[in-house]
Structure 1
């Protein structure tokens, strides 16, 4: 089960690198000026952590391009529904898709994908990364990862934990933790963070893997307890929080976000969109919306 997590990080970075490499030999990219609204298809529910990443980016791109840039949320299927919509769109720059780790985890989990992940998508750029955290509801009465594991061993099958969907990095990390720690905890998948929090905050689901930044207001308010982060190393903003890797080597996950486009998008349009996104991401008003690690 460790292999899909490695595949996710390496493959998504490879997608980003494939888009970035042609720019190295370019001093200036041609301009991209859409003639109608541009859609960014997101595989998660509206109002979640991915929207917090995409909305400031979409607004700035809209200002730059002179056309609305609209977020089109297509949750479900472990990101397959949104990805297939990108694959089927015309390759003219007016449709982009948000690539999360499940994009490259899915080929390791499923043999019935309706597309070829590497052949049927055009990589555009990596736009950022996020720290994912294991949090627990106070009703569990645990303060640390060790106490969580101890309780799970004492009460097999009694603790339900949420992820943001089947095949997401949080799902795979939770399964790795379950296997490495030898615990029986029940997975409850959602199609994004908003659904997960609806069940987590009242305690109907007792634990979850969620984006650290989205969890911190609830942690500070005492509504959730932060047990660990999934980064390979401790997060620099929260150095007191241990990593899963410290207790269970091999259980590490980094959340990475990128943009992809339909197959056959001309290279000159890829370069132009890449350059515009890099320009927008460099603006302070966009960077302040970054997740718990700096945007790329």
Structure 2
């Protein structure tokens, strides 16, 4: 007490003073960082933005990416370009995003592969949960079982009966191993107890080209992947994986109404690198909500259901989908190694 009266500090007093000073410094640094992030969001974007599409040009993800890029360019007056980084079940494009600076200038449209790849590979060059920041859900679309017009079956009952007459089973294609189109096929195989062989392509578009050319009997693809060709009669559709009939193809029966409990959804979500400032994430999220409500967007993207979410909701959805598909992938011993 005498030391305090004399203006001196005991060792305990010195420690307390250091702790208080350190806490004040942390608070000050947090305030500065928050202010800097807010200021960066106010001026964002100051230059061009890149949207990675981890698929070849021409597919549903590519079309969605280019549509959003155009709308962002119109709103912000900055160039927004789509870079197709296809290959390795979206791992190439996703790795590029994980290595990008967390400044909001590199984004990626992720799909279901983002939730299935962790179960398909034990050696991913990124951590799916820690290396990315969710921005918003963008859209959803069911899977369609498309077939070449020369393929004899016209519905699932006929397909199952026909498969039993084929000694070597039936061939089918998808967008790649472990994609939602592939897993939908595997779920149907297990439910219907039919023998089908997966012919692997590097993306759904090359496979669809072979299907249209008659080199394949059938393919599991998203609605938009072949909607024009289906409408033109170049393909037929045997079933759709939505819970109820899908608005853009109301004449196509669901798997479920044909007696097969297969309900799946391909999804599209916008991601940024982990560490991207929250104010920038929030600004992008608000812009996605505005863009996806544009009246003309529904006319251009008729084959998919436009939808948005908060970043937290997309985080929770990604975790739920990862947990949903992991048991099936492991039971089938699927791998992309």
Superposed pair shares fold, TM > 0.5: yes
Alignment of 1:258 onto 2:255: no
Aligned to 2:26: none
**What TM-score, normalized by structure 2, do the two folds share?**
0.75
Of 80, 93, 96, the match for 1:69: 80
Does the CA-based 8 Å contact 2:113-2:179 persist in structure 1? yes
Aligned to 2:204: 193
Query: 5+ residue gaps in structure 2?
Result: 1-40, 308-337
Alignment of 1:57 onto 2:68: yes
Of 90, 105, 108, the match for 1:97: 108
- How far apart are residue 148 of structure 1 and its match? 1.4
- How far apart are residue 178 of structure 1 and its match? 1.5
Alignment size in residue pairs: 268
User: Radius of gyration: which is bigger?
Assistant: 2
Query: 5+ residue gaps in structure 1?
Result: 1-29
Aligned to 2:156: 145
How do residues 151-190 of structure 1 correspond to structure 2 at under 5 angstroms?
151-190=162-201
Aligned to 1:227: 238
**CA offsets, 1:157-182, max 9 Å, x none?**
34221101111100111111122222
- How far apart are residue 263 of structure 1 and its match? 1.0
Q: Distance in 2 between matches of 1:221 and 1:157?
A: 31
Of 107, 112, 120, the match for 1:109: 120
Classify the secondary structure of the residue corresponding to 2:172: strand
**CA offsets, 1:188-222, max 9 Å, x none?**
23233321221111111110011223323222332
- How far apart are residue 293 of structure 1 and its match? 4.4
Of 37, 45, 51, the match for 1:34: 45
Classify the secondary structure of the residue corresponding to 1:201: helix
Does the CA-based 8 Å contact 1:57-1:286 persist in structure 2? no
Q: 1:162 to 1:32 in 2, by over 3 A?
A: farther
Aligned to 2:7: none
Q: Distance in 1 between matches of 2:73 and 2:248?
A: 32
RMSD over aligned Cα, in angstroms? Answer: 1.9
Classify the secondary structure of the residue corresponding to 2:56: coil
Q: Distance in 2 between matches of 1:129 and 1:91?
A: 26
Aligned to 2:134: 123
Aligned to 2:300: 289
Q: Distance in 1 between matches of 2:227 and 2:71?
A: 26
Aligned to 1:267: 278
Q: Distance in 2 between matches of 1:116 and 1:183?
A: 36
- How far apart are residue 77 of structure 1 and its match? 1.1
Higher RCO structure (Cα 8 Å, ≥6 apart): 1
Alignment of 1:46 onto 2:57: yes
**What TM-score, normalized by structure 1, do the two folds share?**
0.84
- How far apart are residue 63 of structure 1 and its match? 1.7
Does the CA-based 8 Å contact 2:188-2:260 persist in structure 1? no
Classify the secondary structure of the residue corresponding to 2:78: coil
Q: Distance in 1 between matches of 2:181 and 2:252?
A: 17
Q: Distance in 2 between matches of 1:203 and 1:32?
A: 53
